[in-house]
Structure 1
Amino acid sequence: MVALLVAALSGLSPARAQESAPVAEPAVVVPAQAQAEAEPEPAPQLRRQGRWLVDEQGRVVIVHGFNLVWKLDPYVPPDSAEGFTEADAAWLAQYGFNGVRLGTLWAGVTPDAPGVGDPAYRDGWQRVMDLLADRGIWMQLDMHQDQWHETYGGEGVPDWAVHRPKVLSLLPPINLPFPMGYWTPENSLVFDEFWANKHQGVDDWAAAWQVAAGWWKDQSHLMGYDLMNEPWMGLEWLSCFTGGCQGAYTRELQPAYEKVTRAIRQVDAKNVVWWEPQQLAAGRQVPTYLEPMAGEDQLGYSWHNYCQDVFLESQGLPFGNVENCWKFSQERTTTALAQAKRINAAPMMSEWGATDNLRAVEIDAAVADRNLMGWSHWAYKQWQDPTTADDAQGMFHDDTDFSSVKQDKLRLLVRTYAQATAGEPLAMSFDAKTGAFSYRYRANAIEAPTEIFVSPLHYPEGYRVEVTNGTWETGQGGRILVRPVVAGTDVVVQVTAR
């Protein structure tokens, strides 16, 4: 130990320090406080372990939260009642939302030139991240895009990354509302040229992620990097719609994801990198074709779940029946679990909802519980969203006023659930009408307790807790803490209203 300390102070290698250190020198004693200052505790972050996300204590974390994506220039929410303040972070924590997906857009990260980060953009999001981390809320960073750029009625990439195809650039661009803009020939061709790296687009995207990872690799409560929101595969979109477009994964998506992941790994070897399937897999029952990446064991599978019956109803079109979403949501979840397993990734339903259809929200939340699936609901606030299928997607009628919250929707999303499990989750259910909750897990020998958040909305007269093969006590922040009597046994926790 002395030789290692001398090496650190002298700049010599340990071997050389052993050769050079005078035998008669007294041992150097470093006070414990100085050692602690020299080696600070690493920030809490989530890692992938099997199909799960685990915290720094090895507990399985299930995330319930929201998307926070400000799609207007400067692509970060302002410090205002409409945007995001300390009051918003407190609101999320109060209702048990322990995760968010933050829209850290390429257009904001490197707005002026490839690979050149904007300190003001970093500072803007750092303010929000600090508020969230102080509340123990996990953060997935999402390089969000919709329809590529404002030129096409969307947002996402910097102005300098827009390269209109030569022939079509002689005409004004077609700017259609979301999502119709994707289906224009020019928008699809722009994506095709991007995937082909025609203008070094993939290289510049990788460079932007390298900047972002360099900024935030040590961020407290980080749960990784979602490389691209809903990637569009270009002119072959019809084959994606009908059969999943396997060739697009092989030729375009997989090589691009691996290139960006390698770029991130040059600056951050530890945090989870999240891959998404092609966009239409969110609303179509089609296969997905991502493959494992050699040598990579910290992948996440970020998938979206949008039942097409709900979309039809939102557009006032016939043939939509929300009850079909039971089957749809379970099929998409089963497909996501299989895809995640194939690429050795932890899955998370990072977008769903986008509706005030209460039955649709109820169905998707119940299916997620049944499959022990973490989620980020779309969306926290409306935030003047320019690329949305309707205007009923936020949690508030007025983004500046917490009292305008959509109460019935809130009651479905605020749930009693296991936030951190010292063991393996086995089964979970919650009845949003009665508040009845049941959870079963196989306990391990982790010293930290299992933490279950208890909804503040469903037990007006209080609640009862029954634990089989374990004990419980009241924790902080609306949680109960559960410990097994014997490690290795199945612990069952039930919460009911009085």
Structure 2
Amino acid sequence: MRAVHLFGASVLACALVGCKASTVPGEAQSGDEASAPLRRDGRWLVDAENRVVMLHGVNMVWKTAPFVPPATADGFVAADADWLADHGFNTARIGVLWAGVMPTQAGVIDQDYLVAWDRVIQLLARRHIWMLFDFHQDMLGPLYQGEGVPDWAVEQLPGSFTTLLGPPAFGFPFNYFTPQLSQAYDNLWADTGEIRDGFREAWTAVAKRWADQPYSMGYDLFNEPWAGLEYASCLVPLVGCPAHDSQELQPFYEYARNGIRSVDQQHIIWFESEPEGSSVGTPKGFTAVAGESQLGYSFHDYCPLAALTQSVQLGLIDALPIPATCNGFNEASANEARDQADRMNAVELLTEFGATDDLELLRQTTALADEHLIGWQYWHYKNWADPTTQSQGSGAQGLFTDDADLSTVKPDKLRILERSYPQATAGIPEELSFDPDSGAFHYRYTPRAAGGPTLIYIPLSTHYPNGYHVEVSGATVVSAPNAGQLRLDNLAGANEVTIDLTAN
């Protein structure tokens, strides 16, 4: 969970208030292994059967040393992987941290760290869950009360704000707004020596380790890259800070991309923009990369009103002075993500949202993702004592009230996140909606040639305990009645397929 929703709320708050019954994903498919890896085809993620894949999943980031979840009930074990698959989640964003890969000095890889993560990777891959590797960070590292970037890569130049003023101690997310931390980010983007080399070499090591992992979906190069001293401009409507993307981040990213491509030519490389403007849709500045067809755009959607709502829940403010609707923020964020992805020849993915128990905000964000036909990864699978959000009520972000007990899942939250959705489509998606109250599901797509059937995940135990009724035109249902995965074969000559499903 990043600076953006807490950061954006800090800005807006000042202005506004004064300062389980299903199949494993892919289990019933023919040629399971042929379904991966994913590739970009226009604006879509496509499997080896030429089916458009939609992703619903979670983030998994262990932010404290050793930066990998332990093999314990409150960490991640086989039962966790089973739970994700049983509830229809087919993707996970994996926090393989730079500070874990290369902790002590540039060029020195901690192979034991990669081995530790491989335990989790194999658990997920065996359940056909696609994984996005993420160099996660918040506020750089411990010097700034954050994590993710190794200490040796947090450069302190003589005469810098940090050396003059000392490191800030306001905690997350407030340190972001200090000149010390903002300048430290500028130093990172500007480096052309050991630090940039180390970043590339760390990513190259990750890519080499999992280049042959069929359920890898690529590399999210840097989580929420703060814009530095120019951060204030990133929220200005119609202006934003696109030069941060084009002049600072893109050269930094392309340098790492070159290293990844030396060992992995196939998996998608994902660029991510600064966190502030992502949730309000200000302009972004990434451009296409010459000779590169497999790019992704990773974006986050943390409506600033979410943190205001959280402030009410924590008793920090009495009430919201405006209705708690995030529809406008979500719409702007999704539109800008589509525009940015189109301009850089990429596919977009909502890699973070949520971090809250506010059900209405989750309804709004997931409904908008359906409307825009965008896949997503919810923040966060478990609370995992997230150090950057302890003071903001860390327990709200996970799916369970007790990380060690999967029976403590938050049922109302699960009813929103566990949805009927098309996991693989033998065609091009056109329209999608799902009502988490009634279970009503509608999907429309244009058929195209594919090597397998259309697969729609159906959350039986959560939404259809008495089964369901389905009406289809343009295709034939080939799965058993009330199956946990609806399978459809397109009819020859059909120009359109529509599916409407209701609970019995």
Q: Could you tell me the TM-score, scaled by structure 2's length?
A: 0.88
3-state SS of paired residue (2:276):
helix
Q: Tell me what 1:159 maps to.
A: 151
Corresponding residue for residue 169 of structure 2: 175
What's the CA shift for 1:355? 0.8
User: Which structure 2 residue ranges, 5 or more long, are not aligned?
Assistant: 1-32
Describe the shift of the 1:48–1:321 C-alpha distance in structure 2 as closer, same or farther (beyond 3 A): farther
Percent identity of equivalent pairs: 45
- Residue 28 of structure 2: aligned partner: none
Contact 2:34 2:49 in 1 (8 A): no
CA distance in 1, matches of 2:490, 2:105: 55
Structure 1 residues 448 and 198, CA gap change in structure 2 (3 angstroms): closer
Shift of 1:203: 2.3
Distance 1:236 1:288, change over 3 A: same
Separation (CA, whole Å) in 1 of partners of 2:74 and 2:157: 38
Does residue 277 (structure 1) correspond to residue 273 (structure 2)? The answer is: yes
Deviations 1:17-66 (A, max 9, x none): xxxxxxxxxxxxxxxxxxxxxxxx87821110100011121111100000
| Whole-angstrom distance in 2 between the partners of 1:383 and 1:283 | 25
Deviations 1:405-460 (A, max 9, x none): 11100100000000001111111110100000011111122230000000121112
Distance 2:104 2:421 in 1: 44
Contact kept, 8 Å, 1:50 with 1:344, in 2: the verdict is: yes
Per-residue CA shift, 1:383-425, capped at 9, x if unaligned? 0101124321011111001111111001000000000011111
Among 240, 247, 263, the alignment partner of 1:244 is 240
Out of 484-493 and 341-350, give the one that drifted further.
484-493
1:85 to 48, 56, 77: 77
Of 473, 490, 494, the match for 2:496: 490
Q: Which whole-Å CA distance do the structure 1 matches of 2:321 and 2:354 have between them? A: 16
The total of aligned residue pairs comes to: 458
1:98 equivalent in structure 2: 90
Please provide the CA RMSD for this pair. 1.8
- Tell me if 1:395 matches 2:399: yes
Corresponding letter in the other structure for 1:324: T
Query: Could you list the per-position Cα deviations for residues 244-271 of structure 1 after superposition, in whole angstroms to 9, with x for gaps in the alignment?
Result: 1122223211211221112211111111
Q: Does 1:314 align with 2:310?
A: yes
What SS does structure 1 have at the residue aligned with 2:338? helix
Bigger drift between 323-332 and 298-307 goes to 323-332
Q: Is the 8 A contact 2:245 2:285 kept in 1?
A: yes
Distance 1:149 1:214 in 2: 25
Matching residue of 2:140: 148
Contact in 2 for aligned 1:65/1:97 (Cα 8 Å): yes
**Amino acid paired to 1:492:** T
Which of the residues 171, 177, 193 maps onto 2:187? 193
Q: Give the AA of the match of 1:469.
A: G
Instruction: Show the counterpart of 1:12.
Output: none
The amino acid that maps onto 1:159 is D
Output aligned runs, 1:53-92, within 5 Å: 53-92=45-84
Cα pair 1:115 1:211 within 8 Å, conserved: no
The answer as to 2:261 corresponding to 1:265 is yes
Separation (CA, whole Å) in 1 of partners of 2:58 and 2:213:
19
Match of 2:26 in 1: none
**Is residue 310–residue 321 contact of structure 1 (8 Å, CA) maintained in 2?**
no
Q: What amino acid maps onto 1:186 in structure 2?
A: Q
In 2, are the aligned partners of 1:44 and 1:220 still within 8 Å (CA)?
Answer: yes
The match for 2:299 is 303
2:468 to 456, 459, 463: 463
> Secondary structure of 1:451's partner?
strand
Equivalent residue in structure 2 for 1:436, among 440, 450, 456: 440
CA separation in 1, counterparts of 2:479 and 2:376? 25
**Alpha-carbon deviation of 1:201?**
2.2
Cα distance, 1:115 vs structure 2: 2.6
Q: Which of 193, 209, 214 matches 1:215?
A: 209
**TM-score, structure 1 as length reference:** 0.89
Aligned CA distance change for structure 1 residues 467 and 208 (closer, same or farther; 3 Å): same
What's 2:109 paired with? 117
SS of the equivalent of 1:164 reads: coil
399, 417, 421: which one aligns with 1:417: 421
Cα shift at 1:323 = 4.4
Q: What's the counterpart of residue 457 of structure 2? A: 453
| Equivalent pair of 1:306/1:352 in contact (CA under 8 Å) | yes
Name the structure, 1 or 2, with higher relative contact order (CA <8 Å, separation 6+).
2
Equivalent positions of 1:18-57 (< 5 A) are 44-57=36-49
* Higher-Rg member (1/2): 1
Q: Supply the AA of the counterpart residue of 2:216.
A: L
